[in-house]
A and B are shown apart, each in its own frame.
Chain A
């Protein structure tokens, strides 16, 4: 008997809202989470990009001061999102040895690292906090989540830049399908709205420089797109075997039907213009889902709003879906949230799950003049999805040539 894996809980803290539902409602309402940064370091360092998608609800409004003190901001977002997802799933009664965590980040504890270096320079080594290492390590968010829910079936961290948390969801699927565990909390987080990462991404011309119009800067597929917009936050999904979920009477959002990871080995940052690696990931994920391309009705695209990235993804999708691509409704939700880097895939997995559950593809903002080289059917307002069994995919691609794709199927209870 083949095992089904289902989504039973979701949680998120994003530029659109402090939890999954308020994020989703704001997304459907066409809100932008992007705004001008007011931090003093903007002026101090003359940072070339002065806007981003900051978490709508600050982490220190949710966590206790002692929790916040011991966690890098990335781990704070992770913990908030995971706690929400865990509660949403009804805090499953599962043996700790059968519970695992797959929690990703793209960059890790960059605030902690750079703050500690400042402390070292200004006050010497004795003033460097003893918690510095556990706070800055990239597995810090996964470890914090694992300790919080007492997961003893393995706590792992996928690190593959902007593909990280989609890879984490795919890894969770593998662990569940293998029978190693019954429940996995999977997700991703990022907290890199800091002058150094902003300067570094700007130096490689990856970021939009539309400082005068933050809310319209993230514009996937538009002819005037000029780069991505940084976002921060975290998102988590509770994934479990259908058997386990049904036995405890859990509500089920959707089935996680497939997941795949491939690599380009083409260029450290540029996507393969032929899109073959990305296409292979989509095909492998659909194969795992035992699905045909005709079943796919919706795609939450990676679509970061960079000139070359958006086209490369289109080329890959065209390669996979051919003429059926025109029947698929595409959403590019980074137009609202900005790009949460290692957290993006998990946020978008939640959007994909909710799109299937509520039968609505969320809108893509700022698509005023669609690039003729990307003739996708893009939802610019909420679009009804068909009834009956349907499939949707979520793509994430990362610097390093990482391609990660997950496939969700609507769940008929």
Chain B
């Protein structure tokens, strides 16, 4: 069964916390990965690959540049779930 938006957000927050040490509570839908969370491109690629593994989805490289906010990523993952 596909995960809900809040379940994906919680899972993504865990990945972000693991990679960067940013508190999971700070990983909110409206936050920008770069401007608000100060996540660099290398961390972003690691987060993407870990999210692919965790949620069983494929996030194409050309899509990553469109994932500006946490909400963008959550919505993409929710939509991409089989």
Contacts and interface: CB of A to CB of B under 8 A. Distances in A.
Interface in B28-57: 41-42, 45-46, 49
A39 interface: no
Interface residues of A, number: 9
Contact of B46 (A64, A65, A131): A131
B82 interface: no
Main DSSP-derived SS at the A contact region = helix
Nearest to A131: B42
B6 interface: no
Interface in A49-69: 64-66, 69
Contacts of A127: 49
A127 B20 CA distance: 18
A345 B20 CA distance: 34
A129 B18 CA distance: 14
Interface in A110-130: 126-127, 129-130
B61 to A, nearest CB: 9
Interface string B1-27: 000000000000000001111000000
Contacts of B21: 64-66
Contacts of A130: 41-42, 45-46
Main DSSP-derived SS at the B contact region = helix
Contacts of A129: 46
Nearest to B58: A126
B49 A126 contact: yes
Contacts of B45: 130
A237 B57 CA distance: 49
A56 to B, nearest CB: 26
Contacts of B19: 66, 69
A64 B49 CA distance: 22
B20 A66 contact: yes
A65 B45 CA distance: 18
Contacts of A126: 49
Contacts of A66: 19-21
16 contacts: A64-B21, A65-B18, A65-B21, A66-B19, A66-B20, A66-B21, A69-B19, A126-B49, A127-B49, A129-B46, A130-B41, A130-B42, A130-B45, A130-B46, A131-B42, A131-B46
Given A66-B19, A66-B20, A130-B42, 11 more contacts: A64-B21, A65-B18, A66-B21, A69-B19, A126-B49, A127-B49, A129-B46, A130-B45, A130-B46, A131-B42, A131-B46
